Amino acid sequence: MTDIGSSRPAAQAFELVLDKGESRVAEFEVRARSPLQKLQHFLHANPTAVPAIVLLLSVAAFGFTVGSRFLSTFNLSLIIQQVTIIGVIGAAQTLIVITAGIDLSVGAIMVLCSIIMGKLAVTLGLPAPIALLVGVAAGAGCGVLNGALVTRLKLPPFIVTLGTWSIFFALNLWYSASETIRSQEVAKIAPLLQALGTPVNVLGARFTYGSFFMLGLVALIWFVLNRTAFGRHLYAVGDDPDAARLSGIRTDRILFSVYVIAGVICALGAWTLIGRIGSISPQAGQTANLDSITAVVVGGASLFGGRGSIIGTLIGALIVGVFRNGLALSDVDVLWQEFAVGWLIIIAVALDQWIRKVSA
Amino acid sequence: MRQSFGLFAALALTLGATSAFAADKPIVGLITKTNTNPFFVKMKAGAEEAAKANDVELRSFAGKVDGDNEGQVAAIENLIAAGAKGILITPNDSRAIVPAVEKARAAGILVIALDTPLDPANAADATFATDNFLAGQLIGQWAAKTLGAKAASAKIALLDLNVNQISVDVARDQGFLKGFGIDLGNPAKIGDEKDARIVGHDVTLGSEEGGRKAMENLLQKDPGISLVYTINEPAAAGAYEALRSVGRDKDVLIVSVDGGCPGVRNVKDGVIGATSMQFPLLMAAKGVEAVKAFASGGGKPKASPGLDFVNTGVELVTDKPAGEMPSIDSAAALKKCWG
């Protein structure tokens, strides 16, 4: 070190070449952007913005065309009641979709657990809390089977859950003997099973404990996804499993646990289901798996993994609920209601793709 | 290689021989729409009992879901290959199944449609079914008589099955409206009626969940609904939950069709005002008997007078009889119900 006080030591001969090179560190290029690009960037940074805007627009549109029958607090709270089950099941689906998986068995797990709860409490006369716990344990068991097949046998989640969907549904029919337990019998013997159907009136709006339960569950999952290491690991595994493994995440353990958690949530969904329909029917929940995927996709999650939010799913479920309720009140034939919901899914995914193209 | 072929041939011969020994009983195939709906589960149970009693071998198949035609076609092909004497089928798609049925009949098999007629009906050798139009008419007439003077100002919600407008769905819905005294427009179409008393139609998929959601939405359309028609009793139970949640369970009349045991208990509890009972066990049992008679060299079954099918009967079940209408009460119905 000869020239003390100078800001840089004198370069040795071989270092002279560096002056010709790039001396800046890596940084993002900031270009002047068109308003459309600015919007695209905003939407990319806020994945729930698209579904939230769509929800507001659809509420406004139906409010304008149908009027007060649609916009009454009672009707709007009714929509929340109607999407409660799909909201809960959609929460389970969201966690799995974030890891780039898919669970086609959610509806079957829910129905199987509701049958187990009903059989134990009503037919066998066990205390209702025990029946509930066994039902939740059964949901976890279904999740263990899904998770083990996905992580141990390395089978694609789509195939695994396509298979377990049939397996769980067959078990449901066998255990229930295809027979329904009537609402009156549940109310008489095990009212706790219907507890989540208890109505709560607030200023002309009508909620049920089930709606609050769903909101609480969504809040809890939001916290886990956004404020805990486990939540960040889910996104990492879904975005790039190899990178996640190389950075020290135990990807198999994460994947396995997410299926088990989904199974438990589906069992809780069974409790909300009994609350809503009163009776316990092996025929229930037949469209729940596809409806839950619809809610997740319309809510802005990507089926390729690594992108999605639980709030988005809740909004997605609400959008579908608003559409079905609003179209029914507008006297639109059920056939065209199906048609409209189909387009809704396509448009939601198209928007999502457009946002993912964002380059800045 | 050659050795294993020899083994294989021997195995095939043994298998062939054993099935030839087993084939001394005539084979009857039962193909239901699904194996999930209690109605078809009971139908299968009825067929199994009848098969034992008539000394025939029953082989049961079902579509995977409501509307699964391919599964039923495959089942017919399997039964033709097995050399069945007769096939009893509740078609998922009354028209699309016809070519497969023609193949079976060309192979000398007696084909009987149960519960749902084929289209055209004479594509099957016979049809054993509930007169679904009559089933609807009975509950429609009962509702009109029960409401009396209020029938003129009734507000009616109709909870149908699904968007496909299948024959059973249309017949019950239109039968109900005719029984209530409403001009049908086209009796082959749901939803083209102009009567101001109709608040609306919605679909339920025949489940409690669907019944509740449809009822909630129709109540939003018109909170004054006073009469609810439902395609089946699970949908009625769901509709009742929706009415109960807004405190309208006591002053709204619900009518339904089916006669399943949970439904009959709901008549007893006052959830459902009246329901039309049908007899799936009887349909299946009669079907098996007809195949047995045919296999023993007898003729084919003859349709009921004035109809193009064998009517397996329908009974009005209610604890509040209306006028002169013949009906049975829930206590009597509990002895006859299914599911």
The string of pLDDT tens digits covering residues A179-228 is 889 999 999 999 999 999 999 998 889 999 999 999 999 999 999 999 99
Of A173, A184, A334, which has the smallest distance from its Cβ to B202's Cβ?
A: A334
Reference B165, options B215, B218, B97, B93; nearest CA is B93
What tokens were used for A245? 């493994």
Interface mutation vs chain A, best among B202, B205, B208, B230, most A CBs within 10 Å: B208
- Is the pLDDT at B10 greater than 60, yes or no? no
pLDDT of B309 reads: 86
Neighbours of B188 (CB within 10 A): 12
Average pLDDT for B78-100: 94
For residues A19 and A24, what is the distance between their CA atoms, to the nearest angstrom? 12
CA dihedral angle for residue B71, residue B77, residue B79, residue B85, rounded to 10 degrees = 130
Point out which residues pair with B159 in neighbouring strands: B202, B230
pLDDT of A29 reads: 65
Residue ranges of chain A with per-residue pLDDT less than 70: 1-11, 28-32, 356, 358-360
Q: Answer whether A325 sits within 8 Å of B245, measured CB to CB.
A: no
* Nearest residue in chain A measured CA to CA from B239: A277
Dihedrals φ, ψ of B83, to 5°?
75, 40
Q: Which helix (H) or strand (E) holds B31?
A: strand B27-32
Q: Answer whether B208 sits within 8 Å of A184, measured CB to CB.
A: no
Beta carbon pairs, A and B, within 8 Å: 96
Chain A hits for B44, CB-CB cut-off 8 Å, are none
CA distance to A68, A78, A323, B312, per residue, from A60 (Å): 11, 17, 11, 53
Q: Residues of B136-146 as b/e, b for ≥16 C-beta within 10 angstroms?
A: bbbbbbbbbbb
Peptide bond into A191 cis (omega under 30): no
pLDDT of A22 reads: 72
pLDDT of A50 reads: 82
CA distance to B61, B77, B125, B181, B242, per residue, from B121 (Å): 22, 21, 9, 28, 38
Neighbours of B3 (CB within 10 A): 7
CA distance to A58, A178, B163, B242, per residue, from A319 (Å): 7, 33, 21, 22
Neighbours of A13 (CB within 10 A): 6
pLDDT of B20 reads: 44
What tokens were used for B88? 């009893």
Residue matched to tokens 């909630």: B216
Q: Band the pLDDT of B19: cuts 50, 70, 90.
A: very low
- What count of residues does chain A have? 360
Average pLDDT for B97-121: 93
Average pLDDT for B220-232: 96
Interface mutation vs chain A, best among B217, B222, B231, B232, most A CBs within 10 Å: B217
CA distance to B18, B108, B283, per residue, from B295 (Å): 21, 10, 18
Is A179 in the B-facing interface, judged by CB distances under 8 Å? yes
User: How far away is chain B from the Cα of A79, in angstroms, using its nearest Cα?
Assistant: 9
* % residues pLDDT > 90 (chain B): 73
Lowest mean pLDDT among B70-84, B159-173, B220-234: B159-173
Lowest mean pLDDT among A327-331, B18-22, B25-29: B18-22
pLDDT of B16 reads: 45
Of B36, B217, B266, which has the smallest distance from its Cβ to A282's Cβ?
A: B36
Q: Band the pLDDT of B314: cuts 50, 70, 90.
A: very high
On average, the pLDDT of chain B sits at 90
Dihedrals φ, ψ of B298, to 5°?
-80, -175
